[in-house]
């Protein structure tokens, strides 16, 4: 079907002029001069072949034909406006991102505003969990998890990560983010009270702090240095690294934490990382999504941004690298 339509600007000028009964006020609303409005009205009248307004000395009045035409034009513009609103609303995308709690708090949240500011049509909804992500439920678009990827080889001596990234790897697409590097951390106040830490054995003077997701971290880390957790040790146990770091800050003991988390912890300046070397876990941080989701425009924009932020974090970690200690072969 072909449509015989007048120019849209002329219709808008006509509708505004009718509402205000003033070419001047219509011009102010549409950011046009009174003369431009008048020309658009003449163009429309020429197109229709009849007068829409009666021009008087200081005002305008509607002709019967103009009033009838106005009712139809206003209806049509309302329909176009509502359809446009729906179309614009439909371009608004929501991407659900499931992130490990402490990583979300220390690393992601302080940066996320940069992404949303640059991509105002994409809303990122955050879920925080350490549970294996279910990417087949369609409730999550992208997840950040730490652990092993099936088929990849890892050093059997490296500290284990007691987390499963997902229980169903079928049709899951994986992108690496950054390594999981564990470092011991202690408060400067506690170290002043207990004594210096110059070698791994010095850590055993301190109370060890465990995190639930890394219950093997201390045994595995100490074993790499030819040590073991003492039988009479009375470690503290916490559920998340954020709580663990707070306990370290409160001089409760010494903990092993991921460098990726520590680099962005707001209380970092009050903590000390003894120069004992860095140990990489048997696993790393990854982006997980359903196969094919990486081709979705909004998901791809978010993943590319996360990859760039991860690259910056790797650079920050490289700049604060502790020389690796000698460990038994």
Q: What is the CATH number of the domain that holds 53?
A: 1.10.10.10
Residue that terminates a domain, selected from 71, 90, 109: 90
Q: What is the CATH number of the domain that holds 250?
A: 3.40.190.290
Give the bridge partners for 245, in sequence order: none
What pLDDT is attached to residue 1? 58
Diameter of the chain by CA atoms?
Answer: 103
Per-residue model confidence as pLDDT tens digits over 131-147: 999 998 878 999 999 99
- In this structure, the answer to whether residues 83 and 117 fall within a common structural domain is no
Domain count, the chain: 2
CB 263 within 8 A of CB 319: no
Cα 125 to Cα 97, 139, 143, 292, 300: the distances in Å are: 6, 11, 11, 20, 15
- Residue scoring higher pLDDT (175 or 277): 175
- In this structure, the answer to whether residues 43 and 171 fall within a common structural domain is no
- Residue scoring higher pLDDT (154 or 316): 154
- In this structure, the answer to whether residues 195 and 78 fall within a common structural domain is no
Residue 267 pLDDT more than 70?
Answer: yes
What pLDDT is attached to residue 269? 85
What pLDDT is attached to residue 145? 97
Q: How confident is the model at residue 322 (pLDDT cuts 50, 70, 90)?
A: very low
Question: In what helix (H) or strand (E) does residue 62 lie, and over which residues does it extend?
Answer: strand 60-62
**Residue numbers of the domain that contains 47:** 8-90
If DSSP codes are grouped into helix, strand and coil, which group holds residue 156? coil
The answer to which of 73-77, 79-83, 255-259, 322-326 has the lowest mean pLDDT is 322-326
Q: Would residue 326 count as lying in a domain?
A: no
Q: How confident is the model at residue 321 (pLDDT cuts 50, 70, 90)?
A: low
- In this structure, the answer to whether residues 17 and 97 fall within a common structural domain is no
The answer for residues whose C-beta is within 8 angstroms of residue 214's C-beta and 6 or more apart is: 159, 160, 161, 162, 182, 256
Per-residue model confidence as pLDDT tens digits over 53-96: 999 888 899 999 999 999 899 888 888 877 776 665 556 789 99
Q: Would residue 3 count as lying in a domain?
A: no
């Amino acid at each position: 079907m072909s449509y015989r339509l007048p120019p849209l600007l002329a219709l808008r000028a006509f509708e505004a002029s009718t509402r205000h009964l003033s070419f001047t006020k219509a011009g102010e609303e549409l950011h046009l001069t009174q003369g431009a409005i008048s020309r658009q009205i003449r163009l429309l009248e020429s197109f229709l072949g009849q007068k829409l307004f009666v021009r008087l000395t200081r005002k305008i009045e509607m002709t019967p034909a103009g009033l009838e035409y106005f009712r139809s034009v206003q209806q049509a513009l309302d329909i176009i406006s509502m359809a446009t609103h729906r179309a614009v609303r439909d371009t608004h995308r929501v991407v659900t991102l499931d992130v490990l709690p402490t990583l979300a708090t220390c690393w992601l949240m302080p940066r996320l505003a940069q992404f949303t500011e640059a991509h105002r049509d994409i809303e990122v909804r955050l879920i925080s969990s350490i549970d294996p992500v279910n990417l087949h439920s369609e409730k999550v678009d992208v997840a950040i998890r730490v652990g092993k990827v099936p088929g990849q080889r890892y050093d059997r001596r490296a500290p284990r990560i007691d987390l499963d990234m997902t229980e169903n790897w079928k049709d899951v697409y994986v992108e690496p983010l950054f390594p999981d590097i564990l470092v011991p951390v202690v408060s400067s106040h506690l170290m002043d009270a207990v004594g210096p830490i110059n070698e791994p054995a010095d850590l055993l003077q301190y109370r060890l702090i465990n995190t639930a997701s890394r219950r093997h971290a201390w045994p595995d880390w100490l074993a790499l240095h030819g040590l073991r957790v003492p039988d009479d040790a009375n470690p503290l146990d916490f559920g998340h690294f954020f709580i663990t770091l707070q306990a370290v800050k409160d001089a409760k003991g010494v903990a092993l934490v991921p460098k990726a988390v520590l680099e962005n912890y707001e209380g970092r300046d009050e903590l000390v990382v003894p120069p004992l070397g860095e140990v990489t876990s048997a696993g790393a941080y990854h982006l997980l999504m359903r196969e094919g989701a990486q081709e979705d425009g909004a998901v791809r924009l978010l993943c590319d941004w996360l990859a760039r932020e991860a690259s910056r974090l790797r650079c920050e970690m490289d700049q604060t690298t502790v020389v690796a200690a000698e460990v038994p072969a």
